[in-house]
Structure 1
């Protein structure tokens, strides 16, 4: 026999229809309220075989004897242990940055990758590609500020592109940059090295951004960054090479009132169809207690986020991701053994927050699992968070994920936050019903066609 999954969210549309989102499959459907009540009241004899099969495939109904939580966690454990065909590496070519952002947890130093480290990094990646089952290599250039290590980026990119062409591996790259150095000529050069996606942070309008993201000498940055973005998206290469800029807004008490001003400004500049915007609440990083000092409540952030997304839709901004979360096969770099970070000292870590952050970056730290200069490597499974899904299962670090209906589409969100003692939940937990309605409005015809469950 069957039972109703506990991993469901529903919305009554007040028009004899009901939306159901299955977090086990990441699928949204709309059905009649009549059919919904048949399901809730367990009148399965009222369902024909076709409807029953669809509901089982969507994991809305499941076998009566299934322990869903065990199934989900065990599947995540299996996925995390499975060798991937994608090698995903984050590289920090420098430990330096021009900015002294209000909430940054890093300690910067004037250090770039040495020539020998660039060569050792290439050899390390080459060895992994030649001894794995990989079909693609994805490089993310990250900082500090990666453009301050531009020479290393160019040398390593060229060598990796040649290597991947030789051994028939697909190559792609992106960059997370503060945007100060992303001049038009630099962009054109980066495109040659297949760096086609960029994340650039703008924290609200000019005033709020300049009060949050300033240089180490307290210099303003908004106008320069925006000017660079406009020049880049106006370059013919941007469309020809299918480039994309994601503008990240780190939202906090001091700037949330000015996010609409930023959206309006970018729209008025005529680039809304060229860029996308992603909103993120500030979080504690390197014991800076940003969330405690200037953070918004998750519930309030979720409410604001929906309003901003509606505005983006109205103004024709790009959307780079689905409105609703997808089913997870892994959480982040922590749970993916084929993903790691290489910093400007050659150290290997499995979280973006580790290098240059005093909380984790110290001698003999367990958050580093190797150094490619010394060819010394540790078993990641034996280090903190090395068995994250077992941690969830055992409710380590006071995690509440085990009994959360969003576990299949969240995976625990940020393991390092839990490790540091902070609860960590994605914003969609607090605005999921609004997102479901938003998705339905955008794709009503497709949903009606693909999930026709009427009797």
Structure 2
């Protein structure tokens, strides 16, 4: 047998013990220093071990800390990654019924960028012929038994809410007729949720199970970053009202805080506001503002490095825990990294003109389209190189990734960054800087829980 190549060993408060973490299995254990010699050799003969060490080796094997001599863990990682990547049981569609938006956010990657042909579409709102093409496309794929998962996107999708609700009813009818599953979510700025009391009920009726909304800080900070287009009017209070409505109607809600140098000092103040409004049970997380496209290149100087973001995020989770937010009760912990939808088969992004893309950062950029939904088979032949580029991207092409012990929980980060922003160089994820902190936090929580259980017994 031999130690896993994905083991991490860290000290504990007890000088006689260490904790071990495996990034492939994400197992975590505490062991005596006197017993970790099996992890410090290139290999060992299990048959020659004394009985107590055999039992210890058996426990290590359960967590993936030791493996058979013949095990090729990199192949295991590749198999797991590709098995998930090419799982075609679900069709994932990101649908933007409009690219129009009522906000003027400085960091938005959908800003006009003439050099890339952004937003040169013909339709502000999705016309009937594109809707029919979409329904015909879904009608064909459900015949193969695939479930359908839709994320409504924009622009601001609720500017086209009637289109969303109408299409939702028709998609639901198609999936029910063909006995396949259907579920949906929405990415929205949240401003229009409270405008019409029927909106939230229609969200529920149309199986929109979750909503992602952005608040970039307390009222003053948010309003300086996410203002109404044209008037630069405030948006915070209306969004907060909408979040309360979603909570009251049991719609799963996520608050994203887009984080850069201009608001990092005000994040804790936002938590105070949410707590004062009885929203500490809403899941809240930080978003790392990155200049995805040339359209937001002018904002690049405000962006923070991943290492800086990791420190901010670590403190953020501490605050969540200390303030009693539900999102802070379970410590942030790594898991095996799945492939991005942009790198999957049967996953597409659709704009109001019927153009399809692989990544939502490319939406509206006609040069990045892989074809029209109305004639995707023919269009794909003309633009298949673009789609193949996405589908065949994988972290195993990069020696630095292959040799990295964090590979299973990182998988090369964002493919868009690697292929187009960094020109062939992957961008390490936050785990590179925060892994030990997050694992230690989970370790401490588990020890505290075990101590409490022992005390109660």
User: What is residue 303 of structure 2 aligned with on the other side?
Assistant: 295
1:319 aligns with 2:327: yes
Question: In the TM superposition, what is the alpha-carbon distance from 1:28 to its structure 2 partner?
Answer: 2.5
Whether the aligned pair in 2 keeps the contact of 1:380 and 1:386 (CA below 8 Å) is: no
Cα 1:352–1:187 change in 2 (3 A) is: same
Q: How many angstroms apart in 1 are the aligned matches of 2:331 and 2:177? A: 35
Q: How many angstroms apart in 2 are the aligned matches of 1:382 and 1:188? A: 38
Q: How many angstroms apart in 1 are the aligned matches of 2:80 and 2:182? A: 29
Question: In the TM superposition, what is the alpha-carbon distance from 1:315 to its structure 2 partner?
Answer: 2.5
SS of aligned partner of 2:326:
coil
User: What is residue 139 of structure 2 aligned with on the other side?
Assistant: 126
Question: How many correspondences in the alignment?
Answer: 425
SS of aligned partner of 2:139:
helix
Q: How many angstroms apart in 2 are the aligned matches of 1:313 and 1:126? A: 46
Provide Cα deviations, 1:309-364, integer angstroms capped at 9, x if missing partner: 12112233233987212113x320122102221221111111110112xxxx13xx
Whether the aligned pair in 1 keeps the contact of 2:152 and 2:186 (CA below 8 Å) is: yes
Question: In the TM superposition, what is the alpha-carbon distance from 1:102 to its structure 2 partner?
Answer: 0.8
What does residue range 1-12 of structure 1 map to in structure 2 within 5 Å? Answer: 2-12=1-11
User: What is residue 284 of structure 2 aligned with on the other side?
Assistant: 277
Q: How many angstroms apart in 2 are the aligned matches of 1:86 and 1:267? A: 37
* CA root-mean-square deviation: 2.6
What does residue range 128-277 of structure 1 map to in structure 2 within 5 Å? Answer: 128-131=141-144, 133-134=145-146, 136-183=147-194, 184-217=197-230, 218-233=232-247, 235=248, 237-238=249-250, 243-273=251-281, 275-277=282-284
SS of aligned partner of 2:18:
strand
* Mean Cα deviation higher: 105-114 or 297-306: 105-114
1:345 aligns with 2:353: yes
Q: How many angstroms apart in 1 are the aligned matches of 2:150 and 2:61? A: 38
Cα 1:447–1:348 change in 2 (3 A) is: farther
User: What is residue 410 of structure 1 aligned with on the other side?
Assistant: 410
Cα 1:380–1:325 change in 2 (3 A) is: farther
SS of aligned partner of 1:319:
helix
Q: 4+ residue runs of structure 1 moved beyond 6 angstroms?
A: 445-448
Cα 1:291–1:40 change in 2 (3 A) is: farther
User: What is residue 109 of structure 2 aligned with on the other side?
Assistant: 105
SS of aligned partner of 1:138:
strand
Question: In the TM superposition, what is the alpha-carbon distance from 1:38 to its structure 2 partner?
Answer: 4.1
Which ranges in structure 2 are unaligned for 5 or more consecutive residues?
113-118, 452-457
SS of aligned partner of 1:196:
strand
Whether the aligned pair in 1 keeps the contact of 2:185 and 2:211 (CA below 8 Å) is: yes
